[in-house]
Amino acid sequence: MVKGSRFDWGGITLYSLLTGFGLLMLSPLIYMASTALKPISELFLFPPRFFVVNPTLINFRDLLFITGTTSVPFSRYIFNSVIVTLGIVIFGVLVSAMAAYPLAKHNMPFKKTIFSMVVTALMFSPMVLQIPQYLIISKIGLMNTYFAMILPYLAAPIGMFLMTQFLRQIPDALLEAARIDGASEWRLFYTIVIPMLKPAIATFALFSFIQAWNDPYPAMVYTTDEDMKSLPLAIQTIGGGAGVIARVGTLAAASFLMIIPTILVFIITQRMVLQTMAHSGLKE
């Protein structure tokens, strides 16, 4: 960075500080990955080593083949988390998009009131709904099913808000031209609205994925069968109780496996997330 013949010391200092803070924020993730690859001889050294010297995959082997119960392997917890997370993300996106379309582009009755209720719902903690949700799921007989862990999270106010705000940027003339050409509302929705909603969909999918992938609550409350438990709940089991010291490497391996999908999803969607944030301000 040079201005004329002089260095831009302010810019160099700023980038150096940002780089230092970035590395500082990455250090816990790097240490966790290093711990997951450490053999037991390096796990309990004093003073501890930040980086692994002799990397090994034994912690991952122990995680997948030893730490499961006699009837439920650890891979079953991973499978359950994948099914529940994909269900929440895919169907949550569809529900939010289908709700946002009439709120943004149709003259439906009480449209402003409904949108105000959606915004108000953002202010309440999800814990407020936990008891009513549990009673409903229990009464309709969905306990110990994937539906019990998916259905309560499909009506997401944040998804409806983001998509409604993003849809308001789409010109009404574009939709009217398609209607004049004979396109039905469903055709408009799938061929015009959904493609133009991709940034908002990517943003909501990221938020929804992080929440669903890391939340042990659904498996803790809506299931009693061990083979329906999820990965976050299994990690809590590994990280507590007797023998926790001996399972430091296994716990690090489990935590590393759990955070990798979140990082990958964020890398894939980050550009669209920034685009959505530029268009999702409150608009009357």
Domain boundaries, the chain: 1-56, 67-277
Residue 52's SS3 state is coil
93-149 pLDDT per residue, tens: 999 999 888 888 888 888 888 888 888 888 877 778 888 888 998 888 888 889 999
- At residue 67 the predicted structure's pLDDT band, cuts being 50, 70 and 90, is low
Q: Once rounded to an integer, what is the mean pLDDT over residues 260-279?
A: 76
Domain 67-277 coded CATH 3.40.50.1100: no
Given a cut of 80, is residue 62 above it in pLDDT?
Answer: no
| pLDDT, position 119 | 83
In percent, how much of the chain has pLDDT > 70? 88
273: Cβ–Cβ under 8 A, 6 or more apart, which residues?
Answer: 199, 202, 203, 206
| pLDDT, position 113 | 87
Lowest mean pLDDT among 22-26, 184-188, 249-253: 249-253
Question: E-assigned strands of 127-280?
Answer: none
> Which tokens hold the place of 182?
């004979």
- Amino acid identity of 84? V
Does pTM top 0.85 for this prediction? no
